[in-house]
């Protein structure tokens, strides 16, 4: 008897825990901190145009998008590139102090 292939869950914005190797480890935390620093450098150097209240989503050396709606931004990114659902993504909210 043949069994059906298990269905693959389509990621949603409610799926918040990625499963890449090392998620939550000290190395992962350090990499996330470095990615936040990199995002701030991109803002300071004018490489990404933002305004107060924007959200930036990035992964290893790459800005994925900017929006005032973080959930919509995440949905657009993972819809366009499903492999990013389980990648190290970092979101950054642009505060008034960045201006």
In angstroms and rounded to an integer, the radius of gyration of the C-alpha atoms of the chain is 16
| Measured distance between the N- and C-terminal CA atoms of the chain, rounded to whole angstroms | 65
pLDDT at residue 1, rounded to an integer: 46
The sign of the CA dihedral 82, 86, 43, 94 is positive
Q: What is the pTM of this model?
A: 0.74
Per-residue confidence in pLDDT tens, the chain, 99 aa: 444 444 444 444 445 567 777 888 999 999 999 999 999 999 999 999 999 999 999 998 899 999 999 999 999 999 999 989 888 999 999 988 755
């Amino acid at each position: 008897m043949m069994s059906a292939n298990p269905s693959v869950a389509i990621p949603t914005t409610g799926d918040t825990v990625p499963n890449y190797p090392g998620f939550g480890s000290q190395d992962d935390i350090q990499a996330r901190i470095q990615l936040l620093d990199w995002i701030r450098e991109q803002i300071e150097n004018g490489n990404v145009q933002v305004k107060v209240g924007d959200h930036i989503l990035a992964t290893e050396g790459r800005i994925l998008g900017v929006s005032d709606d973080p959930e919509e931004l995440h949905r657009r990114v993972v819809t366009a590139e499903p492999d990013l659902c389980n990648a190290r993504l970092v979101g950054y909210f642009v505060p008034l102090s960045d201006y």
